[in-house]
C-alpha cells in the first residue's frame, strides 16, 4: 500500500485499456507503453491485465504504508528507495516507512510501477484505466493527487517467491518507428519526406497523439473526407502539414487523411518520447510487421530470472 507524497508531472492508473468499446466512441486507452506495463505485472505475479501506475517525466514520490512487492519498468525516471537507486526491471519488497521516488527523467518518458495484487480501483467499461478527457476510470477519472492511497486489489503475496524476479531481456526503445502505407485518399501521395529526416515531438503532444514538427507534408486533397475508423498507430495529416501519430487515447474516428500506420510492435517506442525528442520513421512490409509482432510476443512470454540474494533478503524481512 502506498500514499502519494507528490504526483509529479502526470501519474495515472492504467491497464491494457478498453478494446471492445470503440464502436460506442470510447477510445482504447490504457498504458501508453503496453510492453512495460505487461512486464511490470509479470514481475510481481499479476495477470498482465492488472492495473499499475503510469508515471510521466518524473517528480512522483510515494510513502510505503504496508509491505508490498513492487516492480518498476519502462523509462528511466531515476527511481530510488530511501534515496538509494532502485533497480528497474526487477521486483523488490518494500516496507512501511520507506519512500519511493522518481527523481528525474534520464531516459524515456514513462515508468510503470506495479504492485503485487494490482491496484484496487473500480472497473469502468471493463477496464481500470484512467481516461482523462472523459473523466472516468482510475481514481475518479483524474490524475493522482497528493494524499491519495494506492491499495492493492489483493493483499496476499509471498515475498520469497515474488521479490527478486528479474526481467531477462532488454526492451528495444530505439527512436525508430517502422510504418506501413495507409492512404485514405485516392492516388499515391508523395511521402518521401516522412522517412527522409528525423521529426521532433511537439510541445502539444499528449496521450491522444504525438504532434510532429519538421518538414511539412503536402498531399492533394479531394474536398472534405468523411470520418473513418482510426486507432493507435495511425499517422494523420492535418491541414498544417504536420503529422500526428495517434497514441493510446486516440479517438475511434477521424477525418484527417491517414497517410501511414506505425506497426504495433513499435508503439512502445513512441510511448517513451517526450516533447523535444527526435524520432525517425522507416517503411517496412506486412511480412516484417507480422514477424516483429511475433518476436515481441515471444519476448513478453520469456521465462523470468531470479536474483536469489534479493529473494533471500525478502524472505528474511517478510
301 DSSP 8-state letter: T
181 and 159 in one domain?
A: no
Say how far apart CA 241 and CA 45 lie, in whole Å.
Answer: 46
Q: Is the pLDDT of residue 226 over 90?
A: no
DSSP 82-151: TTEEPPTTBEEEE-TT-EEEE----EEEEEEEEETT------BTTB---BTTTTBSTBTTB---TT-EE-
39 and 97 in one domain?
A: yes
207 and 129 in one domain?
A: no
20 and 150 in one domain?
A: yes
Query: Cell digits for 140?
Result: 475518479
44 DSSP 8-state letter: T
139 and 72 in one domain?
A: yes
Residue 186 is predicted with a pLDDT of 54
99 and 198 in one domain?
A: no
Domain with 100 in it:
2-167+305-317
Question: The pTM is what?
Answer: 0.94
**Angle of the 34-43 helix axis to the 286-300 helix axis, nearest 10:** 20
Phi-psi region of 147 (alpha: psi -120 to 50; beta: other; left: phi over 0): left
Q: Measure Cα distances from 280 to 59, 107, 176, 232, 233 in Å.
A: 28, 17, 5, 17, 14
**235, 258 contact by CB (below 8 A):** yes
Domain count, the chain: 2
Q: Give 308's pLDDT tier (boundaries 50, 70, 90).
A: low
192 and 142 in one domain?
A: no
255 and 160 in one domain?
A: no
Q: Is the pLDDT of residue 265 over 50?
A: yes
- Find the CATH number of the domain harbouring 225: 2.40.100.10
23 and 140 in one domain?
A: yes
Residue 222 is predicted with a pLDDT of 47
Mean pLDDT of 115-133: 96
139 and 41 in one domain?
A: yes
263 and 208 in one domain?
A: yes
Say how far apart CA 232 and CA 73 lie, in whole Å.
Answer: 21
Q: Is the pLDDT of residue 5 over 50?
A: yes
189 and 93 in one domain?
A: no
Mean pLDDT of 160-184: 91
Amino acid at each position: 500500500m502506498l500514499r502519494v507524497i507528490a504526483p509529479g508531472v502526470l501519474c495515472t492508473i492504467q491497464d491494457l485499456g478498453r478494446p471492445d468499446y470503440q464502436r460506442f466512441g470510447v477510445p482504447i486507452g490504457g498504458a501508453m507503453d503496453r510492453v512495460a506495463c505487461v512486464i511490470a505485472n509479470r514481475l510481481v505475479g499479476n495477470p498482465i491485465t492488472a492495473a499499475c501506475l503510469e508515471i510521466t517525466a518524473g517528480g512522483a514520490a510515494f510513502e510505503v504504508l504496508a509491505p508490498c512487492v513492487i516492480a518498476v519498468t519502462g523509462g528511466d525516471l531515476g527511481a530510488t528507495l530511501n534515496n538509494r537507486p532502485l533497480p528497474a526491471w526487477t521486483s523488490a519488497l518494500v516496507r512501511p516507512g520507506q519512500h519511493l521516488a522518481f527523481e528525474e527523467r534520464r531516459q524515456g518518458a514513462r515508468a510503470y510501477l506495479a504492485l503485487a495484487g494490482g491496484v484496487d480501483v473500480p472497473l469502468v467499461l471493463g477496464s481500470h484505466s484512467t481516461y482523462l478527457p472523459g473523466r472516468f476510470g482510475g481514481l475518479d477519472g483524474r490524475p493522482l493527487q497528493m494524499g491519495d492511497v494506492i491499495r492493492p486489489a489483493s493483499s496476499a503475496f509471498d515475498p520469497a517467491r515474488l521479490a527478486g524476479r528479474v526481467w531477462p531481456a532488454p526492451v528495444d526503445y530505439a527512436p525508430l518507428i517502422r510504418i506501413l502505407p495507409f492512404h485514405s485518399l485516392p492516388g499515391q501521395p508523395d511521402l518521401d519526406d516522412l522517412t527522409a529526416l528525423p521529426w521532433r515531438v511537439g510541445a502539444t503532444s499528449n496521450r491522444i497523439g504525438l504532434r510532429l514538427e519538421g518538414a511539412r507534408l503536402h498531399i492533394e486533397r479531394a474536398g472534405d473526407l468523411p470520418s473513418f475508423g482510426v486507432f493507435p498507430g495511425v499517422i494523420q495529416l492535418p491541414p498544417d502539414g504536420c503529422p500526428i501519430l495517434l497514441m493510446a487515447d486516440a479517438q475511434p474516428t477521424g477525418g484527417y487523411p491517414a497517410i501511414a500506420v506505425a506497426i504495433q510492435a513499435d508503439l512502445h517506442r513512441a510511448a517513451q518520447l517526450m516533447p523535444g525528442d527526435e524520432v525517425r520513421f522507416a517503411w517496412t512490409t506486412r511480412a516484417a510487421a507480422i514477424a516483429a509482432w511475433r518476436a515481441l510476443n515471444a519476448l513478453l512470454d520469456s521465462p523470468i530470472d531470479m536474483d536469489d540474494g534479493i529473494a533471500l533478503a525478502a524472505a528474511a524481512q517478510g
